[in-house]
Chain A
Amino acid sequence: MNEKVDLTLTVNGQRHAIRVEPRKTLVDAIRDDCGQTGTHAGCEHGVCGACTILLDGEPVRSCLMFAIQCEGRDIRTVEGLANGNELHPLQQSFIDHHALQCGFCTPGFLMLAAGVLRKRPDIGDEELIDLLSSNLCRCTGYANIIKAVKAVRDGLAQA
């Protein structure tokens, strides 16, 4: 059961050949075995959303998945959001709107919002807040996070 298995994870387009126990969660594999510590674990039971990543374009909670389920799939984490030195519009908007304080929840919110806006660039306010309420932040009181995401949505609508 605890025999390690070989697998390859593709994180932000980079292939990582790793050797992990079948029970290793995706978040632990991304962090410990692929060395990408931008994805955080805040609860490890699927409630806080700090571990949100994009799996084949869909926001998922990486604490609820096993690494072996993700071989061959496209894993995107916060480290892959920026284009070189150019920040992703959501990253810039989070800075501009003071949408982070401690920053622990931020990668999860960024990936959640990136996933949502990619599929629904014209999502309405109410639905957006509803979706954002699936992640927890203990510092900001959310208003600035909502504003930051809305601003990017509105920018997309104009573009």
Chain B
Amino acid sequence: MAERGIIGKSLPRLEDPPLVTGRGRFAADINFPHQLHMRIVRSAMAHARIVSIDAEAARALPGVVAVWTAADIPDASPVDFREGPNEKLAPYRQHVLAREAVRYVGDPVAAVFAESAYVAEDAADLVAVEYEELPVVLAADAPPGEFSPGRSTEATLVRQDYGDIDAAFAAAHLVVELDLSVGRHTGVPMETRGAIGRYDAARDVLELHGAAKVPHKNRDSLGRMLGRDVTGIHLYESHVGGGFGVRGELYPEDILVLMAAMRLGRPVKWIEDRREHLMATNHSRQQRHRIRAAVDAEGRLLAIDNEFFHDQGAYIRTHGTRVADSTCGLLPGPYRLPVYRARGHFRLTNKTPAATYRSPSRYETNFVRERVMDEIGRRLGLSPVDVRRRNFLAKEEMPFARPLAALGENVVYDSGDYALLLDKALAAFRWDEVQADMARRRAAGEMVGAALAVFVEKSGLGPTDGARVIVDTTGAVEVVTGGASVGQGFETVVAQVCAETLGVDYDRIRVTHGRTDRIEYGLGAHASRATVMTANATAAAAARVRAKALDVAAEMMQAPIEALDIVAGRVVRTDIESGPSVALGEIARNLAPSAKLRNGREPGLSSDGWFDTEHQTYPYGVQMAVVKVDPETGGVAVERMLVGYDIGRAINPMLVHGQIAGGFAQGLGGALYEEFRYSETGDPLSVTFADYLIPTASEVPEVEILLTEDAPSPCNPLGIKGAGESGIAAVGAVIASAVDEAIGIPGAITELPITPQRLKRILAGIRRPLAAE
């Protein structure tokens, strides 16, 4: 591949022009003639038996076309697991409309279809549901209750382990034990969910617009659930106002708009409102860990034994037990760990169902593991730097296989030099100076502290992705991918890879994504995989198109292939200056099916390309923070934040910086502000932006970013690793540690988020457990 310097450049995004001029097309902007509007009637009770539903008044309202309850759709399948059937977990799936019972406030009970969104909402208010209250379970660490008669709320116990745990603890010099909790928070994109179902009877095709993240996998799931051939279902992704793991999973509303579009014979549009979003879209994160670590006299980890409680909420959604599984598999992070045992109680509660949110299981386990490392260091008189350095896996140990699994794969760290990155980050942060400065300021009475946390991420979940590169007769290029874009700059990255490989200007490239009608396969955008997988597939396809173009050009120009190159969309001779050149569009014309010059070559200047990988890549990073605590208010201000991250190879560093800065802001939300709280009866208390506080420009400092390329991934030809989750991954961990330092109480922070109320209680010397507020 010619080195042209497009990969690695911070080029402006192709995505931006329509978005800054108001020409984007988000879900709510999509309309079809004659469409109906759907409104969901949601449960007002956290756990109750449905005694009766009276929808007569709603049905009688002018403009209402239909009102459905579960009785109207007895054939509807519950929302299925993305990875296919799972007999053990199947009973815990969510029905698209609640059948006998409701299990959280927000559970869909009925659906209203009307001529306008306003009328649909009026009618929904008229649906009267009579409930008989049932006891609620609101904490995963409380004794399990009954999900349904005879079925426990502990759906399963997830476990992973290796080595002799008892022997390791018996031989320990020191055992550290902590009880740590991460609060319930989630992605909360600025665009709420939206789904528009449309049935084209003329073609017998069912369409879902407003799709995101994993359109192809969702198409397969929908095929199973609706009993339709998948070739008769198409998903269309347009602009997506933030994904973060929650958007683009299948939810009851997606199934409802599709069923209604077929049965009512009209397009059906549903746009979630913010209140619904905060009680209906996946929550995440909530776990409590009781963790023990055995160490030797030098502070080296001998074993970790962790029992945790995973608060799944009311149902098991599309991800199954994925978050809890990778909580087991990825907790050890960057450290050598001879013996390990993890047990996760996967429990249902009467709260909104939970699933993945950006850096799922890592945000939680980084907090837990790094709290343990801090504690080990403190107990043995080691600095936070030394205790970590002593336990790092060494560069020489890579690739490193741990006998654990995450996301259905064995954990194999592909490359990494953790100690080197830590050294670079310490220097960039001026760690020693900062420590001296902290000491001075503390002596002067300020509550300030600095801390660090180290983490390993994962990205590029395989196994295979494809792309198709097509050059048209004007020389414009289209890359059709099975990837998806949730606002991260996907189109630009793919265009840069194609431009460099093929030899065209990146702004002549149009990138298509998230459309099942354009390409048969696709893995979508999740687990920071879009860049790694789709970029490599694009490179493969572009390389084949390049070869095809050169082959034809050689014949047209009567020149040896070796003397040809493609520059700015034209094939040129490299051996003679200002010689003849041929435009790619002309070559495309000569490859038309009827073109004479084609000479038996496959028609079209286009090709598919595939990329296979056996393993995900494991990028890694360091986060450092300086915080200041206001003892009066209990408020925490972040004065400095550094993210050091080894990306392997950055295709567009500006976009990587953007991902890190944005991820950090979300991580800060989970560390200090964001929490879904519930009353004792299970009423959600955080259903507006006035109660669920996401950080604003006043709270988020500019992140200092140290991007290194010391460990390109050997798992893919471009050497890249994903970046989507690196900004958020260890924010809870590092802020907790810095607050400890600031208030001078080691190990004080055992629970996220560190709200002013909690911090004031700690400062007042009163420690109370989670959820006691």
Q: Tell me which of B191, B273, B703 contacts A141 (CB under 8 A).
A: B703
Could you tell me which residues of chain A, from 95 to 139, have a CB within 8 Å of some CB in chain B? 95-96, 98, 100-107, 110, 129-130, 132-139
CB neighbours (8 Å) of A145 from chain B are: 697
Q: Does B393 contact A (CB under 8 A)?
A: no
Q: Tell me which of A81, A94, A138, A140 contacts B694 (CB under 8 A).
A: A138
Q: Which of A39-47, A54-62, A64-72, A151-159 contacts B (4 or more CB under 8 A)?
A: A39-47
CB neighbours (8 Å) of B658 from chain A are: 98, 101, 139-140, 144
Q: Does B488 contact A (CB under 8 A)?
A: yes
Q: Does A87 contact B (CB under 8 A)?
A: yes
Q: Tell me which of B12, B19, B665 contacts A103 (CB under 8 A).
A: B19
B interface, by DSSP: helix, strand, loop or mixed? loop
Which of A41, A79, A100, A133 gathers the greatest number of chain B CB atoms within 10 Å? A100
CB neighbours (8 Å) of A38 from chain B are: 21-24
- Supposing A101-B662, A143-B700 touch, asked if A42 and B20 sit within 8 A by C-beta, the answer is no
Q: Number of B residues whose C-beta is below 8 Å from A?
A: 56
B242 pairs with A139, CB closer than 8 A: yes
A44 pairs with B703, CB closer than 8 A: no
Q: Tell me which of A31, A78, A141 contacts B28 (CB under 8 A).
A: A31
**In the complex the two chains form, what is the Cα distance from A85 to B630 in whole Å?**
49
Q: Does B384 contact A (CB under 8 A)?
A: no
CB neighbours (8 Å) of A40 from chain B are: 26, 28, 190-191, 241
**In the complex the two chains form, what is the Cα distance from A100 to B655 in whole Å?**
10
Q: Residue on A with the closest CB to B727?
A: A141
The total of interchain contacts (Cβ-Cβ below 8 angstroms) comes to 169
**In the complex the two chains form, what is the Cα distance from A144 to B13 in whole Å?**
14
Q: Min CB distance, A26 to chain B, in Å?
A: 14
Q: Does B489 contact A (CB under 8 A)?
A: yes
B694 pairs with A144, CB closer than 8 A: no
A136 pairs with B190, CB closer than 8 A: yes
**In the complex the two chains form, what is the Cα distance from A114 to B22 in whole Å?**
15
Q: Min CB distance, B530 to chain A, in Å?
A: 13
**In the complex the two chains form, what is the Cα distance from A79 to B18 in whole Å?**
10
CB neighbours (8 Å) of A95 from chain B are: 12-13, 16-17, 20
CB neighbours (8 Å) of A91 from chain B are: 20-21
**In the complex the two chains form, what is the Cα distance from A98 to B488 in whole Å?**
11
Question: What are 12 A-to-B residue pairs whose CB atoms are below 8 Å?
Answer: A21-B118, A31-B28, A42-B241, A45-B690, A47-B688, A77-B22, A81-B22, A91-B21, A98-B12, A98-B13, A133-B697, A141-B703
Please report A residues at the B interface, Cβ cutoff 8 Å.
2, 21, 23-24, 31, 36-45, 47-48, 50, 77-79, 81-82, 87, 91, 94-96, 98, 100-107, 110, 129-130, 132-146
12 A-B pairs besides A79-B21, A95-B12 with CB distance below 8 A are A21-B118, A78-B20, A91-B21, A96-B12, A98-B655, A102-B190, A102-B241, A104-B189, A106-B19, A110-B20, A141-B663, A143-B703
Please report B residues at the A interface, Cβ cutoff 8 Å.
12-13, 15-17, 19-26, 28-29, 118, 187-192, 239-242, 244, 273-274, 486-489, 654-655, 657-658, 661-666, 688-690, 694, 696-703, 727
